[in-house]
A = this chain, B = another copy of it.
Amino acid sequence: MPAELRRPERTFTIRQLCTEFKATPRALRFYEDKGLLTPARDGMNRVYSYKDRARLILILRGKRVGLSLQEIREILELYGEHDEAMTQNAHSLKKFREKIVDLEQQREDIEGAINELREACERLEKHLAAKRPDLLPKAADYDQMLRARLDGHPEMLGAK
């Protein structure tokens, strides 16, 4: 991650975050509406801190693994005030454990789905290779795709 981004006093405009993470302003405002983000203001304009940016990363990842905004908010709130009503934290704990079980199941499902898709691809390739080899996509296309994924945010690869 570039040192530039790590400087705690660094701030971001809504558009900067949007282009960085391929989101839309509407989405960020929506998250704010739902209480997942609370950027500062400069007059009317939103000013996102480095912490806000970190939260956004968590939000987006949460979404990718199928969490609802509501669930994501619960998780984010854990990083906030630690000395709230304890019963609520006990409740969070329970829900988190449930979610872990959920995610482990999901991981298994994904393994299975990947395997099935791989097999389906193999069958399709054989089928195509036999009858219409001209339609076979080049291996380069796949490379291209992979690179496109990694290009965007290399710093997220090992992000904690």
Give chain B residues whose Cβ lies under 8 Å from the Cβ of A34: none
Q: Does A100 contact B (CB under 8 A)?
A: yes
Give the residues in chain B near A137, CB-CB below 8 Å.
90, 93-94, 97
Which residues of B sit under 8 angstroms from A112, Cβ to Cβ?
A: 61, 159
Q: Which of A62, A106, A125, A159 has the most CB of B within 10 A?
A: A106
Assess whether B100 is in contact with A118, with CB atoms less than 8 Å apart.
yes
Does A109 reach chain B (CB closer than 8 Å)? Answer: yes
Q: Is the interface of A mostly helix, strand, loop or mixed?
A: helix
A111 cross-chain contacts in B, Cβ below 8 A: 107
Give Cα distance in the complex from A96 to B137, angstroms: 12
Q: Nearest chain B CB to A153's CB is how many angstroms away?
A: 12
Restricting to A114-151, which residues have a CB under 8 Å from any CB of B?
Answer: 114, 116-118, 120-121, 123-125, 127-128, 131-132, 135-137, 141-142, 145-146, 149
Q: List 14 A-B contacts (CB under 8 A).
A: A65-B106, A66-B66, A86-B135, A87-B135, A93-B121, A93-B128, A93-B137, A96-B120, A98-B145, A101-B149, A103-B110, A103-B117, A107-B107, A107-B114
Give the top 3 A-B pairs by smallest Cβ distance, nearest first.
Answer: A90-B135, A86-B132, A93-B124
